[in-house]
């Protein structure tokens, strides 16, 4: 089985938990995910299966969108609702205008400190492992981009939001930093990821739905719930190779793709659905496979 499967992750599972369950459900050893999602968070978790794990390199900088709730009045050591409060709660009653003005400071390219309870590594060790042992965690600020950040509603000490961010952005840190700016503390109470790259909730399935398909208890087939290969990497042009060219591509050889003279990278198909490679232009209309997804 080769393909991309979008899971609507439930709260309480780590991304690794989802991968482990998917391996059992699909009876496939080669399963990976595109972008970690915190255990508390729900929503889009793309899984790559079989040889399609080789596509992960093209999604390292994938844009993501989120919706969630920030609670003000106290911060936590994890920057979210699963952590322990770092100070006694204080009563707050914030206005939408106040939070909208503050949200403006977080749009664009900003310097952000990752949460101490995160997968970021300190001398090769994930920060959360050090934090759990109550060891000091010093993470260097990183440059991230928040392309959109909109306050949707405000009620007493809670604000709902929608955000579109570049890779590596922690919404937990945004919540924590907003609370610090206001002087009352704050943390991320809930988070739902609504898209990753070209994938949206419309593409997503629960683990139970996938299990029903594999058990034959659904009208859908595995092919139905996998993302159609033509929808993958939409920014790359597609070419359908003839039988001879497809054979060359499958064996890792350079081919002439006459209709592609300018594109640096192309998706190569054999037929309507079979994505066999992503190829890079060598010169003119000569292309060499960068990754081969279906060999000879």
- Choice between 44 and 113, residue whose per-residue pLDDT is larger: 44
Cβ-count burial 255-266 (b if 16+ within 10 Å, e if not): bebeebeebebb
CATH of 3-60+198-228, one of 3.30.2350.10, 3.40.50.620, 3.30.300.30, 3.40.50.300: 3.30.2350.10
Above 50 in pLDDT, residue 22?
yes
Mean pLDDT taken over the chain: 91
Above 60 in pLDDT, residue 84?
yes
| Helix H or strand E segment including 103 | helix 96-103
3-state secondary structure of 273: coil
Section 157-180 average pLDDT? 96
What is the pairing mode between strands 186-196 and 64-72?
antiparallel
60 burial via Cβ count (<10 Å: 0-12, 13-18, 19+) = exposed
Q: Are 283 and 253 in contact (CB under 8 A)?
A: no
Segment 196-224, tens digit of pLDDT: 999 999 999 999 999 999 999 999 999 99
Query: Domain locations in the chain?
Result: 3-60+198-228, 64-186, 236-292
Active site residues: 38
Domains 3-60+198-228 and 236-292 belong to one CATH topology: no
Segment 88-102, tens digit of pLDDT: 999 998 999 999 999
Question: 62-71, 92-101, 176-185, 251-260: lowest mean pLDDT where?
Answer: 251-260
Section 131-160 average pLDDT? 83
Q: What is the pLDDT of residue 122?
A: 46
Q: What are the residues facing 193 on neighbouring strands?
A: 43, 66
Rounded to whole angstroms, the Cα distance separating 199 from 79 reads 27
Q: Is the domain covering 236-292 a CATH 3.30.360.10 domain?
A: no
The CATH H-level superfamily of 64-186 is Pseudouridine synthase (3.30.2350.10)
């Amino acid at each position: 089985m080769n393909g991309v499967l979008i899971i609507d992750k439930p709260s309480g599972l780590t991304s690794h938990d989802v991968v482990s369950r998917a391996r059992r459900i699909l009876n496939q050893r080669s399963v990976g995910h595109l972008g970690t999602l915190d255990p508390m968070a729900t929503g889009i978790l793309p899984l790559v299966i079989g040889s399609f794990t080789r596509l992960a390199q093209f999604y390292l900088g994938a844009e993501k969108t989120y919706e969630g709730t920030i609670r003000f009045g106290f911060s936590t050591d994890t920057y979210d609702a699963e952590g322990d409060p770092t100070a006694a709660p204080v009563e707050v009653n914030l206005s939408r205008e106040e939070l909208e003005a503050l949200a403006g400071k977080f749009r664009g390219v900003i310097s952000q400190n990752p949460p101490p309870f995160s997968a970021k590594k300190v001398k090769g060790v994930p920060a959360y492992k050090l934090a759990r042992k109550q060891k000091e965690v010093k993470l260097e600020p990183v440059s991230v981009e928040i392309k959109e950040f909109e306050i949707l509603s405000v009620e007493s000490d809670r604000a709902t939001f929608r955000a579109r961010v570049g890779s590596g952005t922690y919404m937990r840190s945004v919540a924590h930093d907003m609370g610090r700016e206001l002087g009352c503390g704050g943390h991320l109470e809930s988070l739902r990821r609504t898209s990753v790259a070209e994938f949206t909730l419309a593409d997503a399935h629960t683990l139970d739905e996938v299990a029903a398909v594999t058990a034959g208890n659904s009208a859908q087939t595995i092919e139905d719930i996998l993302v159609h290969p033509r929808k993958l990497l939409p920014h790359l042009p597609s070419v359908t190779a003839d039988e001879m060219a497809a054979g060359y591509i499958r064996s890792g050889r350079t081919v002439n793709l006459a209709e592609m003279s300018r594109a640096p990278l192309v998706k190569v198909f054999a037929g309507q659905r079979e994505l066999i490679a992503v190829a890079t232009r060598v010169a003119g209309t000569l292309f060499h496979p960068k990754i081969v997804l279906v060999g000879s």
